[in-house]
Amino acid sequence: MAPGAARRVLEGQRAAPGMVLGRARLQLAHQHAIDGTPLPADAIDGELARLDTALAATRAELAELRQRLHGALAHEAEPFLDTHALILDDPELRRGLIEMIRQGRYRAGAALVAQRDRLIEVFRRMDDPYLRAREDDLSHVIARVLDALERGGHQGERRIAARLGEILVTENPSPAELATLARHGLRGVIATAGSSYSHAAILARSLHLPMLCNVADAAAALADGDLVLLDGEDGLAIAHPAAQDLAALRQWQRAQAARPRPTPRPAVPARTRDGETVALYANAELPGEIAEARVLGAVGIGLYRTELLYLRQPALPGEDEQYAALRELMLALDGAPATLRTLDLGADKAIDTGLDMPAEDNPALGVRGVRHGLRHPAILRTQLRAMLRAAQLGPLRILLPMVTLAEEIAAVRAHAQACLAELHAEGVPAPQTLPPLGAMVEVPAAALGVRALLEHCDFLAIGTNDLTQYVLAADRNQGALAGLYDPRHPALLRLVARVAGAARRAGKPLSVCGEIAGDAGALPLLLALGIRELSMLPARIPAARAVVENADCTSLRAVVPRLLRATSRAEIEALLCKLQQP
């Protein structure tokens, strides 16, 4: 323990399990250390040179980014890069900065921040929607220059700084940051905000990266380099751990090491006590997870989020690269089925990907999922072509995220048909007919209008993570709403029942692939409502199987009328308690 450093226990919400010891690395987004003290007269020339170096480095960074983009992404991202380059080269901006440094004796960082704030004020007063949209571009560019200034003009990746053996302390990391940092040996994450339903938390669980979220005092209590014990099992972060904490860590590690390796389970559906079958699938993308899913007896991959291919690098993956990843998946599955979801970037997921999406006031209600695909057909078609090629290697289905209208499914089907015709014409191996095309039900309108959707698709998957946030108007990333955001809400369960009934009547497959599908405590609710396909984190499959094997569908069905009449969470919980008694 550092001399004088006192042990301190911080509480948070568990986002990904595991226990690790590491050094804290504070990285609070968009925070630049701005020196507001006046510049001495003899430092002016040096400061102007620093500014010029940072501007030149930012220009080079944008040019490099442009070079790395090719194909569809270049087409999509160029307008933003052009706007950013224009802002950077604006003679007015440069003149203003030079004047502030020369006359006002501002340091370069302080001048950049002051110029940014002044211009934003001007944009706002003009009340022009175009200029308002430029506010974010301006902030984005200035943040890049500030980063370059901090790096002394050296090129490098932005804001990615945690190193081997460190525990990142941040506000709300983006999934792209986590994907990159995990590759650099990050040990864990303490987020001061966020929730366990965020995409970053879901990814941390996939990466086996212990994570806490909503640790309100972490930023104040921890300093760079502090030794921290992150306990993702109990939701604690212990700064300057004492001997008893380290003993607890060792005990946990020993228990992990002594855990028997899971005996491989055959990939057969689980069976309830009264003989109904329930297919347990895995939500998985990484090779290790896919292998884990196979060992634990998953009957296939029920949700393959293609976003991960986009989070691994700053440039958009082309068709061949996507095909190579899907080929690896299909070969690993060895004939078991996979459901591939088209790109669902947007909201919190697009940050730091190669896809430079315009800032939106309400990204969760914005251009994401299939909305993005239909507005950027080149990106959608690249994915569809890769998926159609992969369909030669095993049974797969194509799933569309964020569907609101049946017309969206019809439009994607037309694109898919065109891609298939192209592949045939080019002599590229592809199936004769389209694989099944399905829709996520995660927008309330999709659940309420499910009959129309069913006419246009071959299967459905309920995404309770998003459906919950849209039905309850509670941001899934907002830790402060953790008490409200809850998929066990009666309104959610009524929608699930509605979708299940409609899918059954239409004779089309339906699964649930939100986090609730792997929540053993809530599974009896889904079984009662008629769900027979579940897709979850691989590690949750054994517990889910045990719940299914212990369930009796006849008695579960008997409580459905009461379940659907419930008016509160408390009533649902009481019913669940009853259901769980053997």
Query: Is residue 524 at the binding interface for Mg ion, with CB under 5 A as the rule?
Result: no
**Least distance from Mg ion to the Cβ atom of residue 426, Å:** 33
Query: Is residue 344 at the binding interface for ligand PEP, with CB under 6 A as the rule?
Result: yes
**Least distance from ligand PEP to the Cβ atom of residue 515, Å:** 7
CB atoms within 10 A of CB 11: 13
Cβ proximity to ligand PEP: between 97 and 443 the closer is 443
Among 514, 524, 530, 538, binds ligand PEP (CB under 6 A): 514
Considering CB under 6 A, how many residues would be counted as binding ligand PEP?
11
Q: Which residue is nearest to Mg ion (CB)?
A: 466
**Least distance from ligand PEP to the Cβ atom of residue 213, Å:** 15
**Least distance from ligand PEP to the Cβ atom of residue 344, Å:** 6
DSSP state letter for 531: -
Q: Select from ligand PEP, Mg ion, none the partner in contact with residue 464, using the beta carbon and a kind-dependent cut-off of 5 to 8 Å.
A: ligand PEP
Vertex 501 angle, CA 548 and 364, to 5°: 85
Q: Which residues contact 114 (CB under 8 A, 6 or more apart)?
A: 100, 106
The CB-based long-range contact list for 157-165 (8 Å cut-off, 24+ gap) reads: 158/352, 159/27, 159/29, 159/352, 160/184, 161/25, 161/27, 162/25, 162/27, 162/186, 163/25, 165/22, 165/23
**Least distance from Mg ion to the Cβ atom of residue 341, Å:** 9
Greatest C-alpha distance within the chain: 86
Q: Which residue is nearest to ligand PEP (CB)?
A: 463
Q: Which residues contact 133 (CB under 8 A, 6 or more apart)?
A: 358, 359
- Report helix, strand or coil for 418: helix
Secondary structure percentages of the chain, helix, strand, coil, to 5 = 50, 15, 35
Q: How far apart are CA 350 and CA 402, in angstroms?
A: 15
Catalytic residue status for 415? no
Cβ proximity to ligand PEP: between 241 and 373 the closer is 373
**516: nearest Cα among 197, 124, 125:** 197
Among 76, 166, 352, 442, binds ligand PEP (CB under 6 A): 442
**390: nearest Cα among 311, 438, 329:** 329
Cβ proximity to ligand PEP: between 305 and 488 the closer is 305
Query: Is residue 306 at the binding interface for ligand PEP, with CB under 6 A as the rule?
Result: no
How far CA 106 is from CA of 44, 88, 142, 144, 237, in Å, comes to 9, 19, 16, 19, 40
Interface of this chain with Mg ion, residues 423 to 462, rule: CB under 5 A: 442
Stretch that binds ligand PEP, among 69-77, 134-142, 316-324, 461-469 (CB under 6 A): 461-469
Cβ proximity to ligand PEP: between 119 and 303 the closer is 303
Cβ proximity to Mg ion: between 188 and 463 the closer is 463
Q: Select from ligand PEP, Mg ion, none the partner in contact with residue 533, using the beta carbon and a kind-dependent cut-off of 5 to 8 Å.
A: none
Query: Is residue 533 at the binding interface for ligand PEP, with CB under 6 A as the rule?
Result: no
Among 18, 194, 435, 463, binds Mg ion (CB under 5 A): 463
**Least distance from ligand PEP to the Cβ atom of residue 37, Å:** 46
Query: Is residue 305 at the binding interface for ligand PEP, with CB under 6 A as the rule?
Result: yes
Catalytic residue, chosen from 213, 419, 457, 513, is 513
Q: Which secondary-structure segment (H or E) carries 97?
A: helix 91-102
Catalytic residue status for 240? no
**517: nearest Cα among 497, 532, 495, 499:** 532
Bridge partners of 278, per DSSP, are 270
Q: Select from ligand PEP, Mg ion, none the partner in contact with residue 235, using the beta carbon and a kind-dependent cut-off of 5 to 8 Å.
A: none
Query: Is residue 487 at the binding interface for ligand PEP, with CB under 6 A as the rule?
Result: no
Q: How far apart are CA 402 and CA 365, in angstroms?
A: 10
Stretch that binds ligand PEP, among 45-53, 92-100, 319-327, 460-468 (CB under 6 A): 460-468
How far CA 237 is from CA of 217, 330, 412, 423, in Å, comes to 10, 39, 46, 53
Strand-strand pairing, 8-11 and 277-283: unpaired
- Report helix, strand or coil for 21: strand
Cβ proximity to Mg ion: between 514 and 524 the closer is 514
Q: Could you tell me the end-to-end alpha-carbon distance of the chain, in angstroms, rounded to an integer?
A: 50
Q: How many residues does the chain have?
A: 582
Please compute Rg for the chain using Cα positions: 26
Query: Is residue 475 at the binding interface for ligand PEP, with CB under 6 A as the rule?
Result: no
Interface of this chain with ligand PEP, residues 61 to 120, rule: CB under 6 A: none
**Least distance from ligand PEP to the Cβ atom of residue 200, Å:** 11
Query: Is residue 314 at the binding interface for ligand PEP, with CB under 6 A as the rule?
Result: no
Phi then psi for 515, rounded to 5 degrees? -60, -30
**Least distance from ligand PEP to the Cβ atom of residue 512, Å:** 8
Cβ proximity to ligand PEP: between 408 and 466 the closer is 466
Catalytic residue, chosen from 84, 199, 376, 489, is 199
Query: Is residue 463 at the binding interface for ligand PEP, with CB under 6 A as the rule?
Result: yes
**Least distance from Mg ion to the Cβ atom of residue 29, Å:** 23
Which H, E and C letters describe 250-288, residue by residue?
A: HHHHHHHHHCCCCCCCCCCCEECCCCCEEEEEEECCCHH
Among 387, 513, 539, 579, binds ligand PEP (CB under 6 A): 513
Q: Select from ligand PEP, Mg ion, none the partner in contact with residue 14, using the beta carbon and a kind-dependent cut-off of 5 to 8 Å.
A: none
CB atoms within 10 A of CB 263: 8
Cβ proximity to ligand PEP: between 58 and 465 the closer is 465
Which H, E and C letters describe 31-47, residue by residue?
A: CCCCCCCCCCHHHHHHH
**Least distance from Mg ion to the Cβ atom of residue 367, Å:** 15
Among 196, 272, 464, 478, binds ligand PEP (CB under 6 A): 464
Among 465, 477, 478, 511, binds ligand PEP (CB under 6 A): 465
Query: What residues are labeled active site?
Result: 199, 513
In the complex, the residues that contact Mg ion under the rule CB under 5 A are 442, 463, 466
In the complex, the residues that contact ligand PEP under the rule CB under 6 A are 202, 303, 305, 344, 442, 463-466, 513-514
